[in-house]
Amino acid sequence: MKILWRNVPIPEQFVIALIVGGLWQILVPVSVLPPSVAWVPLGASLIIAGIFVAFWPVLVAREDDLEDPTSLLTMGPYAISRNPMYLGWMILAVGLAILVNSLWLAIAALAAWLYLQFVTIPREEKALQREFGAEYDAYRRRVRRWL
């Protein structure tokens, strides 16, 4: 199976948020959860799930360029969420915040989500609306933004 590696998701919002949150955690460590090793399996599981959710769309898209789509993808993860890659990164970021028990990473993940929700995704949806018109409208009514 051929994959277009340009589709591999690395949203800048999450990269920046994780770096900034990680630096704050190093400089001024603040825990968000009561200390317990029980959080480790939960955090690790969410990280693994997030990676799977973020990369599943790459496998579904195969050679289709997600930056310049010629068709609207509506199968696989796109039948569950209109933004499966962002959803995967959000799950991964929450898992990382739980794994290292970091309030700063949790705040950074929330900030990244807010930016996506109110800036990035609306801009992308406008472009998809222009490109695919009624087909995108029907898809948007049928599939939720996140879950």
The answer, yes or no, to whether residue 27 has pLDDT greater than 70, is: yes
User: pLDDT tens digit string along 53-104?
Assistant: 999 998 888 778 888 888 899 999 999 999 999 999 999 999 999 999 999 9
φ, ψ of residue 58 to 5 degrees: the values are: -65, -40
**Contacts with 78 (C-beta within 8 Å, 6 or more apart), sequence order:** 57, 60, 84, 143
Q: Where do the structural domains in the chain lie, given as residue ranges?
A: 15-26+35-142
- The overall average pLDDT reported for the chain is 92
Which pLDDT score is estimated for 1?
Answer: 62
Q: Say if CB 88 and CB 11 are below 8 A apart.
A: no
